[in-house]
């Protein structure tokens, strides 16, 4: 056989391709227990015959008819690959064979990974692997990617992949062939429903599912809050015990005032460093992302990861399908929305799973307006929580109402219809700690690498501009809106502009202005709804195109103006 340079990993959606991918390459592709996690293809390196080959994780497809974008991509990639590793869900052999038969008809060597093998055994499904090999004419290796079982054998047998000349079949012939193969190789032992299956069924029925969804959401929020708050306490302690002495020494060395001191240490409050109020690059600039936001990013993604890997999100999508339809979307759109609660950037990237441009526009716009990211929420909980839970509640309710109202308005205004739901619901699975941990680590690392530098840079720029009094001009210019419409001091504009870099820093700045509870509610809401932060901005332009992104921004500004003014006059 010739040298293998490109290996394609192909299979139906949600058969664990991404887990196989990360096992083969050591690269940790994000996987979740719902179809469509891999919207883009990712690639890595795998050793075949002691030589490096490129492994490409192709988006999941059911067939090769090019009826949707993923299938078109898969078709194009087929021309470039040398070998296909077809990942097949052993618990669902018959339907998965549809793609396998399609692949056999192509002119490319094939090897089958019979994945989720462990779960198939548990379910009482027996598959005669030798017989399946014989009938398909290509190597078949049972694997359980989550535990790593069978992966070594799979790699070592990639060179054995064969191209069996088989005639092009009609769709009808394929289904007959699939039935024949399954009949010959599979036997299913009858057994009772497992607890997880019963739980799965009751959580997609309206009468039992909605109360379950409400409980899951409340519990998730409570646990995120609890873990977040506990960690914030620890991190605050660590900062005060370890960092404060060092910074005080630096402050002394810089002479307790002056340009450098103002920028790096910030303003001393009664002779002491106040990590929230001082606003220096090395004080507040490190404290906000690391001690106040990071704990919440961690606890949010931990809980989201558990819900994702357990398989709850597709069920939530079914339950909320009706509500989402009123906003021109279908239930699927809840998944980008929940991702947006962590960070708007992955949330908006995930709108790609929606079918058409109209849906993607609506979803991206209402996410960037009405869905506060974890960093923003952490700061709001901290800064507004002191005034009372009621005020935090007002912010959340306002954002939720804005999210629904804008969705409904956009649905009414934009031409076109919302497509219907067509989604596979995976079985509930107990999350594997390793996969969960890797995913959490990847998301945390993303935050540390991308958010922290922007926070530091933002603080630096703001402090320099502040020092040279640039903000005074802006504040005078926007004063009418700030004071008359929003009832805020004119300096609040600085925080809102700062929110363009990072929302969490924006809220931190508001905390230094000595606002009343009501003013805090108004300004935080305006901050959350107005301009997306710069990272979201970039991703909006990328996903929607510049024109639609500008439209989206105009909607944001109008919505923020309306919400801020309304809150100011009714509170």
Site membership for another protein, residue 199 (CB under 8 A): no
Q: Which is closer to another protein, CB of 404 or CB of 421?
A: 421
User: DSSP secondary-structure letter at 159?
Assistant: G
Where does residue 288 rank: exposed (0-12), middle (13-18), buried (19+ CB within 10 A)?
buried
User: Rounded to the nearest whole angstrom, what is the least distance from the CB of residue 243 to another protein in the complex?
Assistant: 50
Site membership for another protein, residue 442 (CB under 8 A): no
Rounded distance between C-alpha atoms, residue 7 and residue 360, angstroms: 32
Tokens of 128: 């005669």
Site membership for another protein, residue 422 (CB under 8 A): yes
Half-sphere exposure for 388 (CA within 13 Å, toward CB): 7
Work out the number of other CB atoms within 10 angstroms of the CB of residue 468: 9
Among 94, 153, 160, 450, binds another protein (CB under 8 A): 94
The SS3 of residue 138 is coil
Stretch that binds another protein, among 94-102, 294-302, 336-344, 360-368 (CB under 8 A): 94-102
Q: Which is closer to another protein, CB of 291 or CB of 338?
A: 338
> Which of 475, 559, 488 has its CA nearest to residue 517?
488
Tokens of 167: 């005639």
Site membership for another protein, residue 465 (CB under 8 A): no
Q: Which of residues 489-528 bind another protein (CB under 8 A)?
A: none
Q: Which of residues 113-172 bind another protein (CB under 8 A)?
A: 171
Q: Are 84 and 161 in contact (CB under 8 A)?
A: yes
Site membership for another protein, residue 483 (CB under 8 A): no
Rounded distance between C-alpha atoms, residue 426 and residue 14, angstroms: 8
Distant-in-sequence, close-in-space partners of 313: CB < 8 Å, separation ≥ 6: 32, 34, 307, 334, 335, 338
User: Rounded to the nearest whole angstrom, what is the least distance from the CB of residue 363 to another protein in the complex?
Assistant: 17
Among 330, 358, 360, 443, binds another protein (CB under 8 A): 330
Residue count at the site for another protein (CB under 8 A)? 33
Among 45, 92, 106, 566, binds another protein (CB under 8 A): 92
Stretch that binds another protein, among 314-322, 350-358, 452-460, 466-474 (CB under 8 A): 314-322
Q: How many residues does the chain have?
A: 571
Rounded distance between C-alpha atoms, residue 378 and residue 313, angstroms: 23
Q: Which is closer to another protein, CB of 91 or CB of 383?
A: 91
Site membership for another protein, residue 200 (CB under 8 A): yes
User: Rounded to the nearest whole angstrom, what is the least distance from the CB of residue 545 to another protein in the complex?
Assistant: 26
Rounded distance between C-alpha atoms, residue 270 and residue 281, angstroms: 19
x/- map, 228-267, another protein, by CB under 8 A: ----------------------------------------
Q: Which is closer to another protein, CB of 59 or CB of 109?
A: 59
Among 152, 322, 326, 445, binds another protein (CB under 8 A): 322
User: Rounded to the nearest whole angstrom, what is the least distance from the CB of residue 526 to another protein in the complex?
Assistant: 36
Q: Are 404 and 373 in contact (CB under 8 A)?
A: no
Q: Which is closer to another protein, CB of 15 or CB of 303?
A: 15
Site membership for another protein, residue 468 (CB under 8 A): no
Rounded distance between C-alpha atoms, residue 523 and residue 484, angstroms: 13
Q: Which is closer to another protein, CB of 55 or CB of 423?
A: 423
Q: Which is closer to another protein, CB of 116 or CB of 343?
A: 116
Site membership for another protein, residue 209 (CB under 8 A): yes
> Which of 380, 362, 44, 114 has its CA nearest to residue 228?
380
Q: Which is closer to another protein, CB of 61 or CB of 283?
A: 61
The SS3 of residue 51 is strand
Rounded distance between C-alpha atoms, residue 270 and residue 354, angstroms: 54
> CA distances (Å), 230 to each of 225, 246, 306, in order?
8, 25, 19
Tokens of 387: 């005034």
> Which of 375, 377, 386 has its CA nearest to residue 517?
386
Q: Are 113 and 87 in contact (CB under 8 A)?
A: yes
Stretch that binds another protein, among 80-88, 92-100, 475-483, 511-519 (CB under 8 A): 92-100
x/- map, 344-383, another protein, by CB under 8 A: ----------------------------------------
User: Rounded to the nearest whole angstrom, what is the least distance from the CB of residue 206 to another protein in the complex?
Assistant: 5
Q: Which is closer to another protein, CB of 413 or CB of 422?
A: 422
Site membership for another protein, residue 201 (CB under 8 A): yes
Site membership for another protein, residue 420 (CB under 8 A): yes
Q: Which is closer to another protein, CB of 171 or CB of 450?
A: 171
Tokens of 272: 């002491």
Q: Are 348 and 356 in contact (CB under 8 A)?
A: no
x/- map, 38-77, another protein, by CB under 8 A: ------------------------xx-x-xx---------
Half-sphere exposure for 429 (CA within 13 Å, toward CB): 27
Among 423, 451, 455, 563, binds another protein (CB under 8 A): 423
Q: Are 258 and 469 in contact (CB under 8 A)?
A: no
H or E stretch covering 93: helix 93-104
Among 98, 358, 502, 503, binds another protein (CB under 8 A): 98
Site membership for another protein, residue 211 (CB under 8 A): no
Q: Which is closer to another protein, CB of 203 or CB of 251?
A: 203
Work out the number of other CB atoms within 10 angstroms of the CB of residue 210: 13
> CA distances (Å), 351 to each of 38, 262, 355, 359, 525, in order?
12, 42, 9, 8, 24
Q: Which is closer to another protein, CB of 209 or CB of 346?
A: 209
Question: Which residue ranges make up the site for another protein (CB under 8 A)?
Answer: 62-63, 65, 67-68, 91-92, 94-95, 98, 171, 175, 200-201, 204-206, 209, 314, 317-318, 321-322, 330-331, 419-425, 427
């Amino acid at each position: 056989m010739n040298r293998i340079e490109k290996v394609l990993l192909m299979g139906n959606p949600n058969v664990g391709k991404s887990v196989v991918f990360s096992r083969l390459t050591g690269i940790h592709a994000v996987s979740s227990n719902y179809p469509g996690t891999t919207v883009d293809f990712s690639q890595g390196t795998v050793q075949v015959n002691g030589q490096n080959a490129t492994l490409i994780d192709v988006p999941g497809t059911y067939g090769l008819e090019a009826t949707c974008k993923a299938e078109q991509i898969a078709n194009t990639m087929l021309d470039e690959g040398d070998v296909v590793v077809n990942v097949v869900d052993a618990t669902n052999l018959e339907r998965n064979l549809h793609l396998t038969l399609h692949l056999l008809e192509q002119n490319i060597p094939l090897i089958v990974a019979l994945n989720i093998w462990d779960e198939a055994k548990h379910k009482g499904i027996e598959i005669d692997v030798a017989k399946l090999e014989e009938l398909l004419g290509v190597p078949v290796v049972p694997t359980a990617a989550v535990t790593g079982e069978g992966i070594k054998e799979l790699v070592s047998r990639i060179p054995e992949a064969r191209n069996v000349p088989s005639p092009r079949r009609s769709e009808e012939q394929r289904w007959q062939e699939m039935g024949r193969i399954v009949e010959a190789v599979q036997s299913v032992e009858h057994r009772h429903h497992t607890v997880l299956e019963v739980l799965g069924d009751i959580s997609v029925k309206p009468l039992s599912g909605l109360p379950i969804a409400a409980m899951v959401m409340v519990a998730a929020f409570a646990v995120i809050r609890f873990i977040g708050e506990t960690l914030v306490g620890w991190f605050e302690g660590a900062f005060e015990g370890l960092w404060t002495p060092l910074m005080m020494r630096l402050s002394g060395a810089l002479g307790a005032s002056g340009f450098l001191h103002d920028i790096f240490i910030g303003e001393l409050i009664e002779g002491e460093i106040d990590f929230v109020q001082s606003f220096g690059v090395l004080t507040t600039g490190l404290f906000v992302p690391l001690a106040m936001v990071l704990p919440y990013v961690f606890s949010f993604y931990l809980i989201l990861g558990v819900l994702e890997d357990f398989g709850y999100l597709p069920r939530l999508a079914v339950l909320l399908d009706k509500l989402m339809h009123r906003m021109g979307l279908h239930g699927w759109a809840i998944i980008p929305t929940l991702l947006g609660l962590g960070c708007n950037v992955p949330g908006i990237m995930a709108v790609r799973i929606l079918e058409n441009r109209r849906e993607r526009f609506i979803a991206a716009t209402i996410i960037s307006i009405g869905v506060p990211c974890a960093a923003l929420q952490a700061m709001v909980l901290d800064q507004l929580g002191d005034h009372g839970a009621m005020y935090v509640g007002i912010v959340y309710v306002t954002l939720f109402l804005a999210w629904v109202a804008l969705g409904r308005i956009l649905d009414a205004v934009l031409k076109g219809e919302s497509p219907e739901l067509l989604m596979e619901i995976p079985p509930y699975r107990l999350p594997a700690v390793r996969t969960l941990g890797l995913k959490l680590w990847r998301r945390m690392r993303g935050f540390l690498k991308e958010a922290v530098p922007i926070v530091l840079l933002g603080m630096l720029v703001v402090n320099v501009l502040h020092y040279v009094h640039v903000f005074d001009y802006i504040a005078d210019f926007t004063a009418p809106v700030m004071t008359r419409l929003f009832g805020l001091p004119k300096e609040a504009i600085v925080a809102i502009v700062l929110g363009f870099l990072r929302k969490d820093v924006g809220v931190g700045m508001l905390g230094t202005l000595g606002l009343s509870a009501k003013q805090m509610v108004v300004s935080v809401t305006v901050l959350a709804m107005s301009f997306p932060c710069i990272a979201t901005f970039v991703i909006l332009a990328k996903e929607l195109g510049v024109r639609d992104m500008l439209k989206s921004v105009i909607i944001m500004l109008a919505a923020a103006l309306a919400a801020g003014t309304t809150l100011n006059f009714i509170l």
